[in-house]
Chains A and B, each alone.
Chain A
Amino acid sequence: MAELFFGYFAGVIALTAVLVVALRNPVYSALALLVLFFHVAGLYVTLHAEFLAAVQLIVYAGAILVLYLFVVMLLNLKQDDRYHHQWRIAAFVCVPLLLEFLVLLAGNGVAPQSSPLTAEQTAAASDNTMAIGTTLFTTYLFPFEVASLILLVAMIGAIILAKRDIGEGGQT
């Protein structure tokens, strides 16, 4: 049963990921991305990470992708071909990645054996929200604070960029 679900989610994720870059209409690309986000959230649910699944939907599908759609509609990009002439750059990035992937596959094909869940892990799985919170605020406290600081810097940067012309006295 678990393999069946994984096969379905993985298949749809791969298919929609290709569609996001292959479709000509940017709005359709955004919708393919939406379907992809849903299936990634489904994968999280099969891994008993419900909190991550919900956050995935709220942050990516609910906020970021809506902004993408917003931009796509405002720019009115109808079947723009500009992006289809960048294959040289794409090849430059993707060929090394493909080589790495092949090396990894050929090297040691032994998947790490997943040990059966201990009692502690099962307890954590039943309330993974609490587990994530505890880990984030004890073990990974420093990286967490650094990440929030970086986001704060990005936020201030965005405000300065947006407010620049107001400071120069121009009314928009």
Chain B
Amino acid sequence: MTELGLRLAVSFTQIAAVTCIVIVTVLLLTLAERKVLGWMQDRMGPMEVGPYGILQPFADAIKLFFKEDIVPAGANKFLFTMAPILALIPALIGFAVIPWGPNQSLEIGSFTIKPFIISDINIGILYILAFASIGAYGIILGGWSSNSKYSLLGGLRSAAQVISYELNVGLSIVGVLIMAGSLSLVQITDAQSGWFWNWYVFAFPAPQIFALVVYVISAVAETNRVPFDLPEAESELVAGFFTEYSGLRFAFFYLAEYANMVLVSCVAAAMFLGGWNAPYPGTLIGYLGLPAFAWVENTMWFAVKTYSFLFLFFWLRATLPRLRYDQLMRFGWKVMLPIALANIVVTAIAVFFYQQMK
């Protein structure tokens, strides 16, 4: 029983640590987004709270915390309360299978713990996809239960959009799965060690560049970001599915959107860009004679890759106008889907002949 208790304690510590890292990242992102957008539009961004406005996220959090919690008349109170929670939990739960650092294990007494991943399950990537698809419920139910036509339209749009683009996300990573021969994110990342041309974007025999492009575009659409933010198009739907939300409930939706961004960026880094592997074999710290601290460099590489994808999200937001609804659907089904399917066929044939020749 003590062993079970100890295991639970270790797991809870890891979960708490990862959740804290994600929440801090989200806080940073809210500031970074406004700053980056500001610089791209030749202005300063938030400057009032703290030096250079770096305390702005805390001011926002306090403001949201003390706002009045309004439930609109005629709303379905139970679902109105449940919807933000249903949106946030799937966004956070996916981080359980993300490998943050090297696949090493610590021996403590009778059992081993892996410090850089909460749970190494053999269907890691399917687990993330499964919970990403659950996230749509929060948005749909939030839109329906608000008893407002703007919210309902936003929710329905989101349902159609998430289903369409989730398919492309799933299909675009099949090429990587064929090459790695595994569904576990840990094994996929391990298979990309060495020089950067071992990363699956560049890897022989079938570079997954098209898959990466399809994945990134579909991920932007799935997280409801510009230019695919039709569920919350302010020019036509006020604010879409969270029009009626205020205070902490609104903050939950906001948090869920940013946590989803972090999650899809982590998955992109781990599947296509080699995860925590440096672009060269081994680590610089390891060469300097401190192999015990090599994990610092590895986790930093993972952070750099993840943050480059997050920067791409902001960049797209500053650059592109919003698509029209029929353009969105046509693009998803007639452009993205065929590219993803063709990539699967080409990758499968290339890998088959490569294995035959060896």
A residues contacting B by CB (< 8 A) are 27, 31, 34, 50-51, 53-55, 57-58, 61-63, 66-67, 69-70, 73-74, 126-127, 129
A66 to B144, alpha carbons, bound, how many Å?
A: 13
Partner of A66, one of B121, B131, B163: B163
A159 to B268, alpha carbons, bound, how many Å?
A: 34
Partner of B122, one of A50, A70, A74: A50
User: B162 and A58: CB pair below 8 A?
Assistant: no
B residues contacting A by CB (< 8 A) are 76, 79, 121-123, 126-127, 129-134, 136-137, 140-141, 144, 152, 155-156, 159-160, 162-163, 166, 170, 183
B44 to chain A minimum Cβ distance, whole angstroms, is 42
B76 to chain A minimum Cβ distance, whole angstroms, is 8
Given the known interface contacts A27-B144, A58-B170, the answer about A70 and B159 at a Cβ–Cβ threshold of 8 Å is yes
A164 to B277, alpha carbons, bound, how many Å?
A: 53
User: A129 and B134: CB pair below 8 A?
Assistant: no
A-B contacts besides A58-B133, A70-B159, A73-B156, 16 pairs, CB < 8 Å: A51-B183, A54-B129, A57-B130, A57-B134, A61-B134, A62-B132, A69-B137, A69-B140, A69-B141, A69-B159, A70-B140, A70-B160, A73-B140, A73-B152, A74-B156, A127-B122
User: B123 and A50: CB pair below 8 A?
Assistant: yes
A42 to chain B minimum Cβ distance, whole angstroms, is 12
A67 to B160, alpha carbons, bound, how many Å?
A: 8
Give the nearest-CB partner of B76 in chain A: A27
Interface of B is mostly: helix
A67 to B129, alpha carbons, bound, how many Å?
A: 17
Given the known interface contacts A57-B134, A58-B130, A58-B133, the answer about A66 and B123 at a Cβ–Cβ threshold of 8 Å is no
B330 to chain A minimum Cβ distance, whole angstroms, is 15
Give the nearest-CB partner of A64 in chain B: B163
A73 to B241, alpha carbons, bound, how many Å?
A: 14
User: A66 and B136: CB pair below 8 A?
Assistant: yes
User: B133 and A57: CB pair below 8 A?
Assistant: yes
The 6 closest A-B pairs by CB, nearest first: A62-B133, A54-B126, A57-B130, A50-B123, A54-B130, A58-B130
A67 to B163, alpha carbons, bound, how many Å?
A: 9
Name the B residues within 8 Å of A53 (CB-CB): 123
User: B133 and A61: CB pair below 8 A?
Assistant: yes
The contact sample of 11 A-B pairs, CB cut-off 8 A, is A27-B144, A50-B121, A50-B123, A51-B183, A54-B129, A57-B134, A62-B129, A62-B130, A66-B163, A69-B140, A70-B156
Given the known interface contacts A58-B130, A67-B163, the answer about A34 and B122 at a Cβ–Cβ threshold of 8 Å is no
Name the B residues within 8 Å of A70 (CB-CB): 140, 156, 159-160
User: A63 and B156: CB pair below 8 A?
Assistant: no
